[in-house]
Amino acid sequence: MLAERIVTAALHALNKRYLHQAPIELDRLPEPIPGRSYVLYAHVPFCERLCLYCGFNRFLYREDRARHYFRRLRREMRMVSELGYDFPSLYIGGGTPTILLDELCETIDLARDLFSIEEVSTETNPNHLGSDTLDALSGRVQRLSIGVQSFEDTLLRQMDRYEKYGSGSEILERIQAVAERKLFPSLNVDMIFNFPSQTEEVLRRDIALLKETGANQTTFYPLLASPKTRARLAKTVGRMDYAREERYFHIIAEGLADEFHPSAAWSYSRDGEGMIDEYIVDYGEYVGIGSGALSFLKNRIYVNTFSLKEYSERLDSGRMSVSKAGPPYSRRAMHRYRFVTDLFGLRLDKERFARDFGVSAEIGLAPELAFMKLAGGIASDDGRYVTLTEKGRYLLMVMMRETLASSNDLRDQARNALSDEERMLLIEGIDPSGADESLAPNTAAG
């Protein structure tokens, strides 16, 4: 517990400094540095139903609005290409990227035309696993990630997912059918643990059913809840209990160990299968396109506008959606960033650290390595690589949880700055028809 508190406090301070930036006006991202590798992230912020706990940038789906958005997304992709970027990997996240299949396919096809894409990963929901979707994605997508969260109907109802995305048994059957067709080299299932009403028994059942899906990868996210969401959960399903998070983490690690091995601090891959992991350690730098996406380039975080209206306006006036940049990371902060990103992917490459920073990991990361050692987090150090124990993986999970929580705070702030009109789209059950003209469909080609 003490180690976890130290990590939480340290990451809070670091994230606060570098994520909560003073707005500086930007029209585009910087150009790429020759010889560097980058990943492209594209955000599709629409969902048919807005889950109670979710802090990501997402709006209630309406077809005209989403079509309009996809066209601008492709325009932004072209602008990234014109800046000189190339990418071997495209990750499409949401929201629900598969919400408009024809637009998604056109976007993937454009990415393959513009860049040397080898792998495409996309997120989806269990109600989008029909044969039309699967046939269209097969060959285009190498990694399909399905959001399940839990197979327990009570939890799914409390998360407000049951009605739209199906019951636990329906979801299980649908994923089994996808896995049997072997359409995707990597089939991932996203789960959430430590939801207030998730008992140990429910968690064990979720792990057992996850193994039955046939998926070859899984990610167990610890529930992240903003103060507002925590208050809402406390009133309805119960208080969040962070004290049991570590215990649940170990239950997951042990429950999966006979069929899966850890592939990142919170992801597991089925034994004996080579696949694309969600977390690609070799690329510390990424370009984010789409409303609310982040980029990390050289030593800065760049943030795209969270407003759909502004997104549209910026793209229509020839600007990219990036609207803010954080202060440059200091040398120490870059060392720490490497420490967290490498170890989140389960090993710290000391040779690469020394090559990139001109100082050995023992010197550049002395406090971090000493802390991990003391906390019982280091499994081995053979001179080239440092690897983690299960405890170490848990501590890295805490670090990533804090980083994501900071991004969610940033999204909360951005949401507060949205117009009343757009804020309505964040609330389930309100029909936002009659919206602003600038959000209406535009016939201009993407």
Binding site for ligand SAM (CB under 6 A): 47, 53-56, 93-94, 96, 123, 125, 147, 149, 190, 192, 221, 223-224
Min CB(98)–ligand SAM separation in Å: 9
Min CB(124)–ligand SAM separation in Å: 7
d(CA 279, CA 212): 24
Min CB(345)–ligand SAM separation in Å: 18
The single-letter DSSP state of residue 242 is: G
> Residue 94, interface with ligand SF4 (CB under 6 A)?
yes
Closer of 85 and 260 to ligand SAM (Cβ): 260
Burial 63-82 (b: 16+ CB within 10 A, else e): eebbebbbbbbbbbbebbbe
* Binding-site partner at residue 206 among ligand SAM, ligand SF4, none, CB < 5 to 8 Å by type: none
Closer of 63 and 82 to ligand SAM (Cβ): 63
Closer of 159 and 361 to ligand SF4 (Cβ): 159
d(CA 42, CA 94): 8
The sign of the dihedral angle between the CA atoms of 58, 190, 215, 378 is positive
* Binding-site partner at residue 221 among ligand SF4, ligand SAM, none, CB < 5 to 8 Å by type: ligand SAM
What three-state secondary structure class fits 272? coil
Min CB(281)–ligand SAM separation in Å: 20
Which range in 14-22, 50-58, 66-74, 225-233 contacts ligand SF4 by CB under 6 A? 50-58
Among 147, 168, 222, 364, binds ligand SF4 (CB under 6 A): 147
> Residue 125, interface with ligand SF4 (CB under 6 A)?
yes
d(CA 81, CA 116): 11
d(CA 287, CA 396): 23
> Residue 65, interface with ligand SF4 (CB under 6 A)?
no
Cβ-closest position to ligand SAM: 147
Number of residues this chain uses to bind ligand SF4 (CB under 6 A): 11
Which residue type, as a one-letter code, is found at position 87? F
The single-letter DSSP state of residue 22 is: P
Closer of 292 and 364 to ligand SAM (Cβ): 292
**H helices present in 237-330, as ranges:** 245-256, 308-316
d(CA 193, CA 205): 12
Min CB(201)–ligand SAM separation in Å: 21
> Residue 192, interface with ligand SF4 (CB under 6 A)?
no
* Binding-site partner at residue 326 among ligand SAM, ligand SF4, none, CB < 5 to 8 Å by type: none
Site for ligand SF4 in 210-249 (CB under 6 A): none
Instruction: Look at residues 398, 385, 301 and name the one whose alpha carbon lies nearest to residue 350.
Output: 385
Closer of 93 and 292 to ligand SAM (Cβ): 93
* Binding-site partner at residue 50 among ligand SAM, ligand SF4, none, CB < 5 to 8 Å by type: ligand SF4
**What is the DSSP track for 90-131?**
EEEEES-GGGSHHHHHHHHHHHHHHS---EEEEEE-GGG-SH
> Residue 338, interface with ligand SF4 (CB under 6 A)?
no
Q: Are 292 and 45 in contact (CB under 8 A)?
A: yes
Closer of 94 and 168 to ligand SAM (Cβ): 94
d(CA 379, CA 381): 7
Closer of 79 and 137 to ligand SF4 (Cβ): 137
β-strand partners of 147 = 190
Number of H helices, E strands in the chain: 17, 17
The alpha carbons of the chain give a radius of gyration, in whole angstroms, of 21
Min CB(160)–ligand SF4 separation in Å: 8
Among 7, 42, 51, 410, binds ligand SF4 (CB under 6 A): 51
d(CA 66, CA 94): 12
> Residue 42, interface with ligand SF4 (CB under 6 A)?
no
Min CB(58)–ligand SAM separation in Å: 7
* Residues lying near ligand SF4 in the complex (CB under 6 A): 47, 50-51, 54, 56, 58, 94-96, 125, 147
